[in-house]
Structure formats: C-alpha cells, structure tokens
Amino acid sequence: MPTSHLRMENKTAKTRERNKDKSKQEFLDAVGKILTTKGYTSLKVNDIANAAGLDKKLIYKYFGGTDQLLDEYIHAQNFWNNVEEEPLIAEDTDGGKTAAKQILSNQFDFVGNNIEYQKILIWQLAEERASHRKVIDEQEEKGEVLFTHMADRYFGDKAADFRAMMALLVSGVYYLNIYAETNGSVFCGIDIKSPGGREKIKEALNFFVDKAYEDLK
C-alpha cells in the first residue's frame, strides 16, 4: 500500500506513477500472465486487477469491462505471433518446398516454446468469441496470400490437395504441442517434450512435405 504521503520528495517520490497507457499495458500483461499460468478460465476481473497491481475499477474505466480488455489482449497478441512467418518467402525455385519445411519446423518450435500461444490456441478451440473469429480470419487471410503465391501456382489443379496436406500438418503441429503440455507428453509412443521425439516429428514433417512436392507435381 503506497500510503506514503510525503510526495514533496524531489525525486525519490515513490508514489505510483500515474500513467493511463502504462496502466492499460499492465492490465494487458496481467492477462497474458494469468492466461499462461492458469488458463483462460481463470481470467476473472478480480484476479486480473490483482495481478496488475491496480484496482479493478480501472478495467471498467479504461476498457469498458473484462470482455473488452480480453478482446484487446487477443488482438494485440495476434500481431506478435505472426511475425515469424514472414522472413522466408525466399527463392521460388522449388515452388516453396523449403519454405514450407521452414514454416512448419519454425511453427513447431514456436508453439512448443510458447505456452502463452498454446493457451490462446486452446482458448480459440474452447470458446466462441468474436475477437477469436477476427484473429482467425486474419490468419486465414495471411495464409491465403502465401498459398496463392507459392503453392497454388505451382500445383495447379492439385492446389487443393496440397492445402489439405498442409492443413493436416499444421494442425498436427498445433495439437501435439498443446497436448504435450497438460496431461502427459507421450502421443503414439513419441515423447513430444523430449528432444528426440521432437526431432522425429520434424523429420516426419519434412518427409511429408517432400512427398507432397514429389508426387503432387
């Protein structure tokens, strides 16, 4: 409790910094922290305010309510998690084969290492929510340009088949990592949390991509 009344201090005044934007960010951070450690079902106003070290009244003042705070959090997250897909639209000499491998492998590691993102994925699976829909639509749109640019052109009338294969692989990447975190990490006898197991999965991903490009062309 910063009941320190002497605020005449020239500098050392420890009274809480009064900054709306910073406080808003602290609420957003608190959401991420709670989401990561306890899951989306624990995102209650009281707990969020407590984690942020601020009064819950401010959530209503600044965001309008818990839902709007969560919406803002969700949307803010979407920007960060998409950065890693960009940097490899490199050479098109192989129709995007190495790019596809890269993306899958990167995504596999990213999801595996990022519990916060795992929790967001679970949240998307579990709760119908306009802001989830929006984020998902944005991601689909982003994926769409990737597919049309590199794969559709390359695969012609087999484009849809390639997309189906990628859908399976990406889904597998997501599920395996989410699965491994909560109630046991062994799936089909592969320990998804062990380096050896993860290596096997990556090899399987590469194998499937190779075969897709080999046979589909």
Partner DNA sequence: AGTAAAAGTCACCAAATAGTGACCACAAGA
Partner DNA sequence: TCTTGTGGTCACTATTTGGTGACTTTTACT
The site for a second copy (CB under 8 A) is made up of 39-41, 122, 124-129, 132-133, 136-137, 140, 143-144, 147, 160-161, 163-176, 178-179, 182-184, 186-190, 192, 197, 200-201, 203-205, 207-208, 211-212, 215
CB of 202 to a second copy, least distance (A): 9
CB of 77 to DNA, least distance (A): 20
Q: Which does 215 bind (CB under 5 to 8 A by kind): a second copy, DNA, none?
A: a second copy
SS3 187: strand
Give the whole-angstrom CA distance, residue 100 versus residue 31. 33
**Minimum CB distance to DNA smaller for 56 or for 200:** 56
Give the whole-angstrom CA distance, residue 164 versus residue 155. 12
**Minimum CB distance to a second copy smaller for 40 or for 60:** 40
Structure tokens at 27: 């609420």
Q: Report CA-CA distances (Å) from 46 to 2, 56, 175.
A: 20, 6, 31
Give the contacts of 173 (CB within 8 A, at least 6 positions apart).
104, 107, 108, 111, 205
The DSSP output letter for 151 is I
Q: Which does 140 bind (CB under 5 to 8 A by kind): DNA, a second copy, none?
A: a second copy
In the complex, the residues that contact DNA under the rule CB under 7 A are: 1, 3-5, 7-8, 13, 15-20, 22-23, 44-47, 53-58, 60-61, 65-66
Give the whole-angstrom CA distance, residue 150 versus residue 139. 17
Q: Which does 46 bind (CB under 5 to 8 A by kind): DNA, a second copy, none?
A: DNA
